[in-house]
Amino acid sequence: MTMPSSENHSHEASILHSSDNGFLVYCPGCDRFKLAFGTFWLSQDITEIRSLAALINRYNHHYFRRAKRTRRDIFVDGPHPDFGLLMSPRDLEQLNHILQTGLLVLEAGGRVRLQ
């Protein structure tokens, strides 16, 4: 996946996970993860993306059994001050899947390179 070049390098991102709902990619040129979901996207380093993944995973587990799966009334603190996400249990499940799968692919790739 080629992304627009905004610095002194081209953004040749590795796709870690992609679905109809969004994607998680890694750009080695800027050492950043690009997460897109629904109508937002963000760029984060490994510590930030892992922190966001843990937060979304906790919310997902908390609201997983809720009967109204599409009602967007769950406020999730965003990764930046003054920014939050309004999500439904279904949104949380879909975003969690993108993040968890993408991070597993990243870890598996790192283990393969170490062998």
Condensed to tens digits (0 to 9), the pLDDT of residues 55-106 reads 999 999 999 999 999 999 999 987 778 888 999 999 999 999 999 999 999 9
Beta-carbon contacts of 12 under 8 Å, excluding residues fewer than 6 positions away, are 1, 2, 27, 28, 29
Pairing state between β 11-12 and 14-19: unpaired
pTM: 0.84
User: For all residues of the chain together, what is the average pLDDT?
Assistant: 87
Using CA atoms, how far apart are residues 53 and 57, in angstroms rounded to an integer?
6
Residue 115 in this model has a pLDDT that exceeds 70: no
Mean pLDDT over residues 18-33, rounded? Answer: 93
